[in-house]
């Protein structure tokens, strides 16, 4: 479990002006409020909000988000009131904690077998409440996604298999797509793979084992391809960082289902990311890659000239690369990588806990709420 001083140090690393006193008070308050409560794992319950807060520090979220993560379960699971939260931590924290609590209390609308109109209407109403709670402040959603991620990481401790499957289905149907929608691609991948492992354990085990074999057998190949790509680009006076990896089990399973092929017949399980200094060099690097290797038809996307709604920018292409291996290549700047890593959080800034910059990647959610409410 992350210790109090460690959490403060993590936040100070990216925000030296953080209110250490409020962070420390929130840590101690939540520790005392949860008291002797335990999780399904047998660990002290307080370990959960601390881990959620730790996940958010990796996203470099503001102090209010970290405090909210520490306090996000105290209203629902202890005798703490929202008035007490406001008195001790201020109105912004009250609003955020209340938003996360509302999300937790909404009965999730995942029943595909609504037997009558009343069931269907209930699902629509729950969905409306769900999105309405999220739309109050994007940080509410970010805390909730981190909460869900840690719950999925510890899902195996829940003994009831039906409950595990319900939580995994919720994650795959709602939370993973939401994470992707606001640009948290790493969150999305983790949530998908954790849910996949619960819902399709045999398929997950088979693909994971295959990927492990490939990683052992082809680790040198990934390095060699990375070296060749780097050399080609450096020959054109480009300073680049090339990163190679295997694709995720869930993404491979989806491709196997979509193409109706076996794992052995998949030709592009390796992906490479090329980081360059500026926008112009993105297109220069693309020219080098396309002039050096044969392209795969229909596999080119320019998300720089036409960014995704969540602000994501990158060039995606697939080529028959070094050693005749088909590979996916993503080309972007370091600033674009920051957005790809942190999603919507990379666009928002705060002053005294109040958002001061409108974020276009969150507009879709507000528009959706207006449609649902109309």
Residue 355's pLDDT is 45
Q: Give the range among 130-144, 310-324, 348-362 with minimum mean pLDDT.
A: 348-362
How large is the average pLDDT for residues 262-267? 76
Q: What tens digit of pLDDT does each residue of 72-92 get?
A: 999 999 999 999 999 999 999
Whose tokens are 């609504």? That residue is: 114
Residue 154's pLDDT is 96
Q: Which residues are catalytic?
A: 76-77
Q: How far apart are CA 317 and CA 301, in angstroms?
A: 6
More confident residue, 355 or 33: 33
| DSSP sequence for 51-120 | HHHHHHHHTT--HHHHHHHHHTTHHHHSS--HHHHHHHH-HHHHHHHHHHHHHHHSPP---TT--SHHHH
Q: How far apart are CA 252 and CA 182, in angstroms?
A: 22
Q: What tens digit of pLDDT does each residue of 133-178 get?
A: 666 678 888 999 999 999 999 999 999 999 999 999 989 988 898 8
Coil/strand/helix, residue 331 = strand
Residue 283 vs residues 213, 279, 335: alpha-carbon distances, Å: 35, 7, 15
- Among residues of the chain, what percentage have pLDDT more than 70? 82
Question: What residues have CB less than 8 Å from 367, skipping those under 6 apart?
Answer: none
Question: What residues have CB less than 8 Å from 186, skipping those under 6 apart?
Answer: 341
Residue 176 vs residues 3, 34, 173, 242, 366: alpha-carbon distances, Å: 29, 28, 7, 27, 19
Question: What residues have CB less than 8 Å from 233, skipping those under 6 apart?
Answer: 240, 242, 274, 285, 288, 289
| DSSP sequence for 185-243 | HHHHHHHHHHHHHHHSHHHHHHHHHHHHHHHHHHHHHHHHHHHHHHHHHHTTT---EEE
Coil/strand/helix, residue 335 = helix
How large is the average pLDDT for residues 20-24? 95
Question: What residues have CB less than 8 Å from 151, skipping those under 6 apart?
Answer: 48, 167
Per-residue tokens: 253: 């399973």
Question: What residues have CB less than 8 Å from 87, skipping those under 6 apart?
Answer: none
Residue 174's pLDDT is 86
The whole model's pTM is what? Answer: 0.83
More confident residue, 128 or 62: 62
For residue 332, the cross-strand partners are: 275
Whose tokens are 């953080």? That residue is: 18
Residue 258's pLDDT is 85
Length of the chain: 374
Coil/strand/helix, residue 363 = helix
């Amino acid at each position: 479990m992350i210790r109090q001083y460690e959490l403060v140090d993590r936040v100070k690393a990216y925000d030296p002006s953080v209110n250490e006193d409020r962070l420390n008070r929130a840590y101690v308050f939540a520790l005392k409020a949860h008291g002797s409560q335990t999780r399904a794992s047998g660990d002290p319950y307080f370990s959960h909000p601390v881990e959620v807060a730790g996940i958010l520090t990796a996203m470099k979220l503001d102090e209010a988000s970290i405090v909210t993560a520490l306090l996000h379960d105290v209203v629902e699971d202890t005798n703490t009131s929202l008035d007490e939260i406001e008195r001790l931590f201020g109105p912004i924290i009250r609003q955020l904690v209340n938003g996360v609590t509302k999300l937790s209390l909404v009965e999730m609308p995942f029943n595909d077998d609504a037997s009558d109109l009343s069931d269907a209407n209930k699902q629509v109403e729950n969905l409306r409440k769900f999105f309405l709670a999220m739309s109050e402040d994007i940080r509410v959603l970010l805390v909730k996604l981190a909460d869900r991620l840690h719950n999925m990481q510890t899902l195996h401790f829940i003994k009831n298999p039906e409950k595990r499957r319900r939580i995994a289905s919720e994650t795959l149907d709602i939370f993973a797509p939401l994470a992707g929608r606001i640009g948290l691609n790493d969150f999305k991948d983790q949530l998908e793979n954790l849910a996949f492992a619960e819902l399709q354990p045999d398929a997950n085990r088979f693909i994971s084992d295959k990927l492990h074999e490939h990683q052992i057998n082809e680790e040198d190949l990934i390095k060699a391809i990375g070296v060749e790509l780097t050399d080609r680009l450096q020959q054109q006076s480009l300073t680049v960082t090339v990163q190679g990896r295997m694709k995720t089990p869930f993404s491979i399973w989806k491709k196997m289902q979509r193409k109706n092929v076996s794992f052995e017949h998949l030709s592009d399980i390796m992906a490479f990311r090329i980081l360059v200094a500026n926008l112009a060099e993105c297109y220069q690097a693309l020219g080098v890659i396309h002039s050096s290797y044969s392209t795969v038809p229909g596999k080119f996307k320019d998300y720089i000239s036409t960014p995704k709604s969540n602000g994501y920018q990158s060039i995606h292409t697939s080529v028959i690369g070094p050693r005749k291996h088909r590979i996916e290549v993503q080309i972007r700047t370091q600033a674009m990588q920051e957005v790809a890593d942190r999603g919507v959080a990379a666009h928002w800034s705060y002053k005294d806990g109040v958002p001061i910059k409108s974020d276009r990647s969150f507009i879709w959610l507000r528009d959706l709420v207006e449609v649902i409410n109309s």
